[in-house]
Chain A
């Protein structure tokens, strides 16, 4: 590779391919083709958790953890929008503790808009979107304090988390909140599985918003990512078969460089 900051021709071809798949999925959805998203129990549990909080008259909390402005945040915002709308209909207090000031501005706008969308704009209280700290453990301690004071009936942890994940999840566990977590960090998934009622793993976080809203654009994105993954799986399979056969039979050793084309395309095709 010529450098980490610049794409190789192989990467450019791949990017083009991915964009083409996205456009294909997007236009097929716009053309009226229907796609189904499989049932994800963790996402169904969100509504249950909010309903339970409404019955108990308790608040709900939603945290994006250490997520910065990134695609992961936008995936979380889709879920937040849906949760806010439901909470607004039940007139529930929604707490959104914040780690990053930039994210706070975007989150505040999303929550305000969601309240307006369901005709409950007057219920929106900006003071529930609390900036705690941009320091990891100061944020964790602020979150613990908030959860112990407000005792929410449901706590949603969506986004990027690090070592503080267990502290946040345990705080919710201690006050008896029903918790649903979703993280793209595999290291933290184990902690969430141990502590939360439901955990969305990796890309399920990106599918959650589409699943909840059934918005055609979001569904198209999920369809596109599934198609791309399928394409990569085929690449990996061909590469593995070529590499295995190539190293097994010396007369077919020409398959080894062919396998590299499928397994590390970006490194092989360079400027």
Chain B
């Protein structure tokens, strides 16, 4: 056995044994040994290794179709269209992804205001709460946390203002209403902050509690209105429009067209299959006829129990056969999996794979 084969066999065995033990060891035991928390990370690691192969697909496409274009082989124009489509889809999708990511992180900064004030409230209401931001395990002073909150909110509000919300939008009535809502919540939030800064935060009085709740509520309203506006804005512009044209306008429709071909092909295949040439094809045709007649109201007119007969055919003989096929394939798959796990292969096969 050469070193390459030995390496492949070792990795296969180790990968197999990890998932096998994860399957047979009870959940409680996995929790004790710490595998339960680590499992999603390990599984994602395997997925990442698999995802690297996507590069192989792109390389194969570029080399295969690129050579067609360069040497102007038969049908090179189709290859050129494919490569242009590949590059444009890749470019537009990447640009769209970057744009969406920027919007999401911007919105996250606003959404966190409500969570921050709620957290201050819940921590301050329960002084014995062990949860804390500080590494020492002690809660920072309420005054300090409220000050941090107001500082953060003013910073975020300033940034949003700088993002010149007035510059965005399509000018529709809905857009204007959203902007009014945003403006209203911005004023309310600013007013709340002014009050927060004027009162004492030595301890959490009832009025202070109400004040923090108001901050959380107005921050929530502000974040909702802002997120709708930003998402609407993100849908405008050249990149999103190109994305819509490529994906919804071309890709989805081409897929639907291919799927629609099935209708024609089913008819053609049925015509060939239902020719009575043997005992088996006769049986198949009779069964298909009963199922089809049982499906339509006309069938009931021919024979009252036709729908029941159709149901029986589908639920009893058909289900039994389906189960038998699945059962046989599952057992065969399991046996092959054991063989693969232990790399029990003939010499040629193991070297080839």
- How far is A201 from B56 in the complex, measured between Cα atoms in Å? 32
Contact of A114 among B56, B321, B352 (CB under 8 A): B352
Q: Is B258 a contact partner of A110 (Cβ separation < 8 A)? A: no
Q: Is B325 a contact partner of A201 (Cβ separation < 8 A)? A: yes
Q: A39 on the interface (CB 8 Å rule)? A: no
CB of B230, distance to nearest CB on chain A (Å): 31
- How far is A164 from B57 in the complex, measured between Cα atoms in Å? 20
Collect the chain B residues with CB atoms within 8 Å of residue A104's CB: 53, 56-57, 60
Q: Is B24 a contact partner of A101 (Cβ separation < 8 A)? A: no
| Contact mask for chain B residues 8-40; partner A; CB cutoff 8 A; 1 contact, 0 none | 000000000000001111110000000000000
- How far is A164 from B322 in the complex, measured between Cα atoms in Å? 20
Residue of B nearest to A23 (CB): B338
Tell me the chain A residues, 84-117 only, with Cβ under 8 Å from chain B.
98, 100-102, 104-106, 109-110, 112-114, 117
Residue of B nearest to A25 (CB): B335
Q: A253 on the interface (CB 8 Å rule)? A: no
- How far is A193 from B281 in the complex, measured between Cα atoms in Å? 10
Q: B302 on the interface (CB 8 Å rule)? A: no
| Contact mask for chain A residues 142-175; partner B; CB cutoff 8 A; 1 contact, 0 none | 0001000100000000000001101101100000
Asked if A131 meets B60 with Cβ closer than 8 Å, knowing A5-B23, A221-B339, the reply is yes
Collect the chain A residues with CB atoms within 8 Å of residue B259's CB: 137, 163
Q: A72 on the interface (CB 8 Å rule)? A: yes
Q: Is B64 a contact partner of A170 (Cβ separation < 8 A)? A: no
| Contact mask for chain A residues 245-271; partner B; CB cutoff 8 A; 1 contact, 0 none | 000000000000000000000000001
Contact of A271 among B26, B254, B335 (CB under 8 A): B26
Collect the chain B residues with CB atoms within 8 Å of residue A69's CB: 50
Q: Is the interface of A mostly helix, strand, loop or mixed?
A: helix
Interface size class of B (residues with CB under 8 A): 35 or more
Q: B237 on the interface (CB 8 Å rule)? A: no
Q: A234 on the interface (CB 8 Å rule)? A: no
Counting chain B CB atoms within 10 Å of each CB, which of A15, A74, A101 scores highest?
A: A101
Contact of A101 among B57, B262, B336, B346 (CB under 8 A): B57
Collect the chain A residues with CB atoms within 8 Å of residue B23's CB: 5-7
Q: B279 on the interface (CB 8 Å rule)? A: no
Q: Is A19 a contact partner of B338 (Cβ separation < 8 A)? A: yes
Interface size class of A (residues with CB under 8 A): 35 or more
Please list the residues of chain B having a beta carbon within 8 angstroms of any beta carbon in chain A: 22-27, 50, 53-57, 60-61, 63-64, 67, 75, 78, 254-255, 258-259, 261-262, 265-266, 268-270, 272-273, 321-322, 324-329, 331-340, 344-346, 348-349, 351-353
Please list the residues of chain A having a beta carbon within 8 angstroms of any beta carbon in chain B: 2-3, 5-7, 11-12, 15, 18-19, 22, 26, 69-72, 74-75, 77-78, 81, 98, 100-102, 104-106, 109-110, 112-114, 117, 127, 129-131, 134-138, 140-141, 145, 149, 163-164, 166-167, 169-170, 184, 186, 189, 191, 193-195, 201-203, 205-207, 213, 215-218, 221-222, 224-225, 228-229, 232, 271
| In the complex, the 10 A-B pairs of residues with the closest C-beta atoms, listed nearest first | A113-B352, A101-B57, A206-B332, A203-B328, A202-B325, A194-B269, A194-B273, A137-B258, A71-B336, A131-B60
Given contacts A18-B334, A71-B333, A207-B332, 4 further A-B contacts (CB under 8 A): A104-B53, A104-B56, A109-B353, A224-B335
